[in-house]
Amino acid sequence: MPKCATVDATRTVTVASDVYAPGHLGELTQVLPFELVDSVLEETGATPRRLRSLPSRTGVYFVLALGLFERVGARLVWDKLVAGLSGLPLVSPSEKALRDLRRRIGVAPLRALFEVLAGPLAQPCTPGVRYRKWRTVAFDGCSSLRVPDEERNRSWLDKTRACFGLAGYPALMLMTLVETGTRGLLGAVFGPSSTGENAYALRLVHLLKPDMLVLTDCGFDSGDFLEAATATGAQLLARGKSTRRPPVLATLPDGSYLTQIYRLKLRVIEAKVTVTGADGSTVSDHYRLVTTLTDPRTDPAEALISLYHERWEIESAYYALRHTLLRGRVLRSKDPVGIEQEMWALLVLYQAIRTVMVTAVETRQSTDPDRASFTVALEAARDGVTTATGVLPPTTGPVDLVRHIGTAVLASLLPHRRARFSARTVKSGISRYHTWNGAGRSRTSTHITAIVAKVHQPRPSRLTPTGPEDTGFPAPAPGRSTAVMEIMHSAPERAWRRCRYRPPTRHHQREGPQQLPSPAGPMGTAGTTHHDRPSHLQTRLANTLDTAPVSLNFADLVDLPILCVILLGVSNWSRCVVESLHVLEDRPVRGPGCSRGRKTWTHTLCVVRDGRSRRSPGIWAVTARRSGTT
């Protein structure tokens, strides 16, 4: 056959008619059929009185598709629903029409859908779902779901405060009861993270049955929860807190012992679990397990310790919901009602995908549901939505339980889980950027109403001074140099003090002291310089009148509060303004640019420039000009 040969491939798409055609989820529609959605809408009172261009049934599938395509906006999600329906006369709604559709549906239909789908998914004979005659289930909470930082969301959920400040987004606490063998959901509640996990778990205790074995971590080691869980007839295997000191009523042959916690007679297993890696490294931890299975002959301690590891399956369920489905993104709704609707839609979508996965795995004998890949099933479900395949089951021929999603899952079964361990650390540390808002901008998105750009005209050149009449600009306000001149002129009686001799340092090496010339004039002799002070770092003071320049040590300027200086030898600080000059002799200093109450070196220059300070130990050269005669 030549390479340029072609073949025509056609397929038949079967969907609902008229305005209901966009209402589908591909193959997931067979898990959420039209009849179920219509029944839920009628029970919750969300059925419209008239036929709209966007009916409520279509809106339910649209809200579910928002969770399936979390990366794109509402308008693009609608385009994916109608991508495989070319040729049909379909409406093209705007963003506002889709928002109004969500508001019209409300929260109740999505919550009712989840209550219908929630429950055990596996058959009793499915591998990995039971311990003896009990179905293993687990409680746990997830507080890492984030919602948009909006005022209405903050009023409901608030932000978590940590040692580094407030969290960036309000957090939502999700509490679920999970079947560990399939990671399917038996129940869920959510709300503010300020409410504890035990309070949420008590709202789901009624879902426990006598044929269940509950696995929990040490966060649920409380009397109220233990009594409520055991009152349902379910068995319990929980990790106890290390701070609890239960009394030893009787010691059992396997090393465990019987105790009484509140009014419950329980069995306590204390063990140290040590694992050894391929490189010879070892990791160990102490476990205290509390259980209602008190017979060591039928339930040995080693078997219960191994069984407790199944509790981690709920963490894998949260990973699929939080990262695989949501991709770690912030929820899209900006008000509490929208958040509730979106959360119930995500839980419905998650449970529908798990249902298809378990159904497919059970068609292959002795296959553990843990080996089914949630990522593969999710991508296959997305493909089914864009191509609109498998919306309705075939009317003729045998029923296909696997279909396209199940076929993809069975073709990509994960290998058996490897026994591994790793450090429980944060892969990426906290941000190096501070949460302090120095610019004073709004922390939420703010609409811009006006943008003004003002062009500054150049200042007159300092090299060719001109008067205000020449430039057309008003005379500049007196600057710091003027204040310096006035201060120096107002204190002609100031006496300059000589500094003490300091031994040579490793920074400055010169041979012998040098005598500077004594200038004529009222300033007097500046004194000598020492070999630890280079000649290019000497202070030169010049009179703006006819007074000859005079050299003096920096320590002699201790009484001068303000001085315009040029620092030599300090990079990036070529021109500064000194607000305080202090010669310290091992005593605290207070003043602009100086640390409060902190002792510094003798002869310290505190420089302030643009609100920043710099402490420069030793003697640095300054150039100043002084007006008036003294």
The pLDDT tens digits of the residues spanning 496-505 come to: 444 444 555 5
Domain assignment present for 425: no
Task: Find the range with the poorest average confidence among 103-112, 155-164, 250-259.
Answer: 155-164
Whether residues 109 and 155 share a domain: the answer is no
**DSSP assigned state of 588:** B
pLDDT, tens digit, for every residue of 207-256? 999 999 999 999 999 989 999 999 999 999 999 998 889 999 999 999 99
pLDDT, tens digit, for every residue of 185-195? 999 999 999 89
Domain assignment present for 145: yes
Q: Which of 372-386, 431-445, 567-581 has the highest mean pLDDT?
A: 372-386
pLDDT over 90 percentage in the chain: 52
Whether residues 191 and 269 share a domain: the answer is yes
Whether residues 193 and 107 share a domain: the answer is no
Is residue 168 over pLDDT 50? yes
Q: Which of 387-396, 439-448, 583-592, 595-604 has the highest mean pLDDT?
A: 387-396
Task: Find the range with the poorest average confidence among 108-112, 298-302, 428-432.
Answer: 428-432
Q: Are 142 and 177 in contact (CB under 8 A)?
A: no
Task: Find the range with the poorest average confidence among 292-306, 438-452, 548-562.
Answer: 548-562
Is residue 173 over pLDDT 50? yes
Looking at the DSSP assignment, which residues form a beta bridge with residue 286?
272
Q: Calculate mean pLDDT across residues 346-367.
A: 96
Whether residues 610 and 513 share a domain: the answer is yes
- Specify the amino acid at residue 205: V
CA distances to 316, 361, 377, 520, 576 from 413, in Å: 16, 9, 11, 98, 70
> Rounded to the nearest 5 degrees, what angle is found at the Cα of 35, between the Cα atoms of 30 and 40?
110
- pLDDT at residue 398 in the model: 63
Q: Are 414 and 372 in contact (CB under 8 A)?
A: yes
- pLDDT at residue 525 in the model: 38
Is residue 197 over pLDDT 70? yes
Alpha helices in 493-613 (DSSP H): none
- pLDDT at residue 422 in the model: 81
Give me 581's structure tokens: 């000059």
Mean pLDDT estimate for the chain:
78
Q: Which of 201, 137, 151, 146 is nearest to 169 (CA)?
A: 146
Domain assignment present for 445: no
Q: Are 556 and 565 in contact (CB under 8 A)?
A: no
pLDDT band at 401 (very low <50, low <70, confident <90, very high): low
Whether residues 61 and 124 share a domain: the answer is no
Residues 6+ apart with CB under 8 A from 305: 269, 271, 273, 287, 289
- pLDDT at residue 403 in the model: 86
Q: Which of 303, 318, 178 is nearest to 237 (CA)?
A: 303
pLDDT band at 1 (very low <50, low <70, confident <90, very high): low
584 versus 466: the higher-pLDDT residue is 466
Looking at the DSSP assignment, which residues form a beta bridge with residue 540?
551, 623
Q: Rounded distance, CA 65 to CA 389, Å? A: 15
Task: Find the range with the poorest average confidence among 221-230, 408-417, 528-537.
Answer: 528-537
- pLDDT at residue 385 in the model: 96
pLDDT over 70 percentage in the chain: 70
pLDDT band at 489 (very low <50, low <70, confident <90, very high): low
Whether residues 137 and 223 share a domain: the answer is yes
User: What is the torsion angle, in degrees rounded to the nearest 10, for the CA atoms of residue 332, residue 338, residue 343 and residue 344?
Assistant: -140
Name all contacts of 304-309 with Cβ < 8 Å and 24+ positions apart: 304/237, 304/269, 305/269, 305/271, 305/273, 307/131, 307/136, 307/215, 307/237, 308/215, 308/237, 308/239
Whether residues 287 and 169 share a domain: the answer is yes
Domain assignment present for 279: yes
Q: Calculate mean pLDDT across residues 492-520.
A: 48
Whether residues 112 and 258 share a domain: the answer is no
Domain assignment present for 357: no
pLDDT, tens digit, for every residue of 49-107? 888 999 999 999 999 999 999 999 999 999 999 999 988 889 999 999 999 999 999 99
Other beta carbons within 10 Å of 529: 22
The two beta strands, 130-131 and 576-582, are unpaired
pLDDT band at 414 (very low <50, low <70, confident <90, very high): very high
Whether residues 156 and 247 share a domain: the answer is yes
Q: Rounded distance, CA 122 to CA 358, Å? A: 7
- pLDDT at residue 49 in the model: 82
Is residue 611 over pLDDT 80? no
CA distances to 24, 59, 189 from 78, in Å: 11, 10, 29
Is residue 526 over pLDDT 60? no
Is residue 475 over pLDDT 90? no
Provide the domain limits for residue 39.
13-117+373-415
Question: What percentage of the chain's residues is helix, strand, coil (to nearest 5)?
Answer: 30, 20, 50
Q: Calculate mean pLDDT across residues 501-528.
A: 44
- pLDDT at residue 606 in the model: 42
Q: What is the CATH number of the domain that holds 234?
A: 3.90.350.10
Domain assignment present for 275: yes
- pLDDT at residue 108 in the model: 97
306 sits in which H/E element: helix 301-308
Whether residues 327 and 386 share a domain: the answer is no
Q: Rounded distance, CA 251 to CA 248, Å? A: 7
431 versus 210: the higher-pLDDT residue is 210
229 sits in which H/E element: helix 223-231
> Rounded to the nearest 5 degrees, what angle is found at the Cα of 12, between the Cα atoms of 6 and 15?
150
Is residue 25 over pLDDT 70? yes
pLDDT band at 616 (very low <50, low <70, confident <90, very high): very low
**DSSP assigned state of 25:** B
Q: Rounded distance, CA 607 to CA 615, Å? A: 7
- pLDDT at residue 520 in the model: 43
Whether residues 105 and 197 share a domain: the answer is no
545 by Cβ neighbours in 10 Å (0-12 / 13-18 / 19+) ranks as exposed
Give the dihedral sign, CA 556/558/564/565.
Answer: positive
Domain assignment present for 395: yes
593 versus 124: the higher-pLDDT residue is 124
Q: In 289-311, which positions are buried (b, 16+ CB within 10 angstroms) versus exposed (e)?
A: bbbbbeebeebbbeebeebbebb
- pLDDT at residue 5 in the model: 84
Task: Find the range with the poorest average confidence among 81-90, 149-158, 282-291, 445-454.
Answer: 445-454
Give me 493's structure tokens: 């009686």
User: What is the torsion angle, in degrees rounded to the nearest 10, for the CA atoms of residue 142, residue 146, residue 151 and residue 156?
Assistant: -10
DSSP line for 317-375: HHHIIIIIITTTPPPS-SSHHHHHHHHHHHHHHHHHHHHHHHHHHTTSTT--GGGS-HH
Is residue 436 over pLDDT 90? no
Task: Find the range with the poorest average confidence among 42-56, 292-306, 313-327, 560-574.
Answer: 560-574
Q: Which of 318, 338, 358 is the last residue of a domain?
A: 338
Q: What total of structural domains would you count in the chain?
A: 3
Whether residues 490 and 621 share a domain: the answer is yes
Domain assignment present for 367: no
